[in-house]
Structure 1
Amino acid sequence: MPVSDLTAALADVRALLLAPDDLVRAVAAGRRRGVEPPAAERVEVRPVALRAGPHLQLVSRTGPVVSTVNAPLGERAAAAVDDLLAQPFGNFHVETSSQVLQLRVTKRGEAQVHRSATSRRAVQAGPQAHDRTKQRLVDPDDPLFRVLGAGGDKRRQVDAFVRQLAPLAPRALDAAAGRELRAVDLGCGNAYLTFAAHRWLAGRAGEDGAALRTVGVDVRPDVVERSERLAGEAGLAGLSFAVGSIVDADPFDGAAPDVVLALHACDTATDDALARAVRWGSPVVLAAPCCHRDVQRQIAGARAGDGLGGGRGGAGEPLVRHPILRERFADVLTDALRALVLQVLGYRVEVVEFVDSRHTPRNALLRAVRTGGPRPEHLAELDALRAQWGVEPVLARRLAPQLDAVRALA
């Protein structure tokens, strides 16, 4: 992809953001090399129609903290956009009624800009567009969906997932500079999202002149055979499938993958996948957990002892007294513990909703990006949460040597 002057490229982005009748949405994410990180991890911009009139809305996210600024069109909106563009974000994604612009800041501080036509036939933009049909990053008419036999719900899940992957893709491409980009889906199952991730990543890797190789791993030979056949029918070069377990997966013959996916792997299979990604040192990890039975069982056992912040009748007891509440709380607790383990071991983690719960009740997604060295400051939070609820998360057991090494540094 050709490079251009960053100042001029950001001026183009500014013009698009300040054309509210044409703007659909924009996202600023990632960080530039060698500078302090932006004030927020991610900022989404879109025009909105409020009772006070048309505004530009900027939603900033840092971990679980979300803040919203609604700037009236005019000087205040322009000032908000200028403040945003002054932040050292590494990637900008701008969708308008006619085009999609993607800007990535290179290691040298230059801009790589890609423009493509908006794929939808009709797009509503501007502040009045609250009820518009969302632009799809993977075209709903893509022949891939016909090959997979995917209906409307699956297509929406695919698009929602790709939207979560998109801001992290530049980090993976940077890690793969000068070689092929490697992605693996551990416990891929029917592989709808494996196919979609490969389709979308292939386009991004191609822009950078890099090849892409994606491997889906599953223990069921019939599932792998079916996915191999469908990959051939869809004409997806570089996509393959292998029979194997998550624990023993080695899809690239000793080389570490740049992107690790684990989507709806049941119970502790998600922990196996996260542990595998950490041991590989993979820079980008996306995991959509499924059931959380292990922690549920531990909580049930702790209720008979002295756990739960004081045992039966303690402060935590009302949260887990009823089975349905215990099940839901175990989901939250498990993913909170997983996030803390990953943070201790050097990942920036977001736990987000990746698709509306109408389409699947298992709609949480852990997005993790490797940022460098370990973060011992999170050990106290991890230890306190484990002690309070009398549980030992599987991911902490899988990565005990790594956690012990960080503990020795603290």
Structure 2
Amino acid sequence: MDNYATFFDKIRESLQREEFIKISLGDYNGTELYLKNVYIKPVIIKREKKLSFVFRYKTQDITQNFEIETAIMEIQGLLKVEGFRVATLFTERENLLCQFTKKGVWSLRQENPTAKKPVVLTHDKQKERKLDSADKVYLQELKLTDAAGNVYKNAQDKWKQINHYIEILSSILQRLPPRETLNVVDMGAGKGYLTFALYDYLVHTLQKRTSLVGVEYRKDLVELCNHIAAKSNFKDLLFMRGAIEDYQPQNDLDILIALHACDTATDDAIAKGIRHDADLIVVAPCCHKQIRREMEKSKVKNELDFLVKHGIFMERQAEMVTDGLRALIMEYFGYQTKVFQFVSDAHTPKNVLIVGEKKIVDTRKQQEILEKIKSTKAYFGISYHHLETLLEMG
């Protein structure tokens, strides 16, 4: 076996044994202008090991990441095709210098190791979590973490979703008007992943006295969540069985949450929040059938009708129109609205999060908003919007 082949065997071997540290390529004699060196190191990207290449030019660096086998082929090309004549493999055991000599052959020289293996390989930007996973009974009971607080591999996406949710709301929650007790309702709480996390963050991180009710129609989930709440010693967290449209808050309502409430159930939730003067309304709409049926029935002609002949575009347009009108209606009632991308778990499609903070009703703008709602409905052939009807806006 020649030296060149041996060098690549050593690369694969060091990767398999987890002894690989880095590779540097030098003595460039190729045609690419200003290219000087290439530096290669392992990284973890989305829990997958790859090799990161830094192409060093005279005035800039360019980084590319490759899967392991593709990376090895890339190195072979850089040496035999692109014109690098020296490659040095740094491992925990040795340094291995592979050099193209004046005789036209590859030489191989072994040296003592000089590089130190990095402690952390991750390339993903590490975010400061608003919640930690240690000593959280509810996370253990929901099968997200083990007893030591380690997040299970198959629960990583859900854990990211929970933290993304809290990250979005964190600054808004701190701006809420002072209350002796925050009264929160989470409509359509499901298995309670986000409900528990919100209660935990409000009570233990923000130190706000909080009474939170999770409304859920499925009896088995209500019983499960109440069991977990009791086991977690979350004294002011209660789950109740019921439908969103039927639930009537017993106290003042400060925060209303409705995540993935289907179709007009989102409108029912928003309407309750508005009627009860909630300081904060947070909804992640799911399904948009009511407006889509209106648009399909009218088949109005406008500048965008070329899109809606395609079913998937009709669906997306109906989503945007529905949620755009929801945001306008909330603004009519004095809410400052923002729309965020909200990525849920693997069983729910990507969605948007509509957040409304209660401000002051601007009577001067209300008429403008009404005109905008009216013209939007006419443009898309919508005879009525369910939320508008619930709130008796004419």
TM tier relative to shorter chain: 0.5 to 0.7
Q: CA deviation digits over 1:3-35, x for unaligned, max 9?
A: xxxxxxxxxxxxxxxxxxxxxxxxxxxxxxxxx
The alpha carbon displacement at 1:390 in A equals 1.3
SS in structure 2 of the partner of residue 232 of structure 1 = helix
2:309 corresponds to 1:285:
no
What amino acid does structure 2 have at the position aligned with 1:369?
E
Indicate conservation of the 8 Å contact 2:162/2:197, yes or no. yes
The alpha carbon displacement at 1:175 in A equals 4.4
Indicate conservation of the 8 Å contact 2:137/2:231, yes or no. no
Partner of 1:263: 259
1:5-154 alignment runs, 5 A limit: 131-141=124-134, 142-150=136-144, 151-154=155-158
In the aligned structure 1, how far is the partner of 2:325 from the partner of 2:353? 14
Partner of 1:203: 204
In the aligned structure 2, how far is the partner of 1:180 from the partner of 1:389? 43
Indicate conservation of the 8 Å contact 2:279/2:358, yes or no. yes
The alpha carbon displacement at 1:140 in A equals 3.5
Unaligned runs of 5+ in 1: 1-50, 54-122, 405-410
Partner of 1:167: 171
What amino acid does structure 1 have at the position aligned with 2:327?
A
- Provide closer, same or farther for how the CA distance between residues 191 and 247 of structure 1 changes in structure 2, counting only shifts above 3 A: same
The alpha carbon displacement at 1:332 in A equals 1.0
What amino acid does structure 1 have at the position aligned with 2:390?
R
The alpha carbon displacement at 1:287 in A equals 0.5
SS in structure 2 of the partner of residue 264 of structure 1 = strand
In the aligned structure 1, how far is the partner of 2:221 from the partner of 2:346? 26
Partner of 2:333: 345
The alpha carbon displacement at 1:229 in A equals 0.9
TM-score, length of structure 1 as denominator length: 0.60
Alignment partner for residue 362 of structure 1, among 325, 340, 350? 350
What amino acid does structure 2 have at the position aligned with 1:138?
L
Of the two structures, which has the highest relative contact order with CA contacts closer than 8 Å and spacing of 6 or more? 1
- Higher deviation after alignment, 325-334 or 273-282: 325-334
Partner of 1:79: none
Indicate conservation of the 8 Å contact 1:264/1:362, yes or no. no
Indicate conservation of the 8 Å contact 1:164/1:354, yes or no. no
2:251 corresponds to 1:247:
no
Indicate conservation of the 8 Å contact 1:357/1:363, yes or no. no
Unaligned runs of 5+ in 2: 1-58, 62-118, 145-154
| Runs of 4+ deviating beyond 6 Å | 356-359
- Provide closer, same or farther for how the CA distance between residues 244 and 360 of structure 1 changes in structure 2, counting only shifts above 3 A: closer
2:390 corresponds to 1:393:
no
In the aligned structure 1, how far is the partner of 2:199 from the partner of 2:233? 12
- Provide closer, same or farther for how the CA distance between residues 175 and 384 of structure 1 changes in structure 2, counting only shifts above 3 A: farther
Of structures 1 and 2, the larger Rg is shown by: 2
In the aligned structure 2, how far is the partner of 1:343 from the partner of 1:299? 24
The alpha carbon displacement at 1:245 in A equals 2.1
Indicate conservation of the 8 Å contact 2:343/2:349, yes or no. no
* Identical aligned residues as a percent: 33
- Provide closer, same or farther for how the CA distance between residues 205 and 257 of structure 1 changes in structure 2, counting only shifts above 3 A: farther
SS in structure 1 of the partner of residue 157 of structure 2 = helix
The alpha carbon displacement at 1:192 in A equals 1.0
SS in structure 2 of the partner of residue 265 of structure 1 = strand
Over the residues paired in the alignment, what is the CA RMSD in angstroms?
2.4
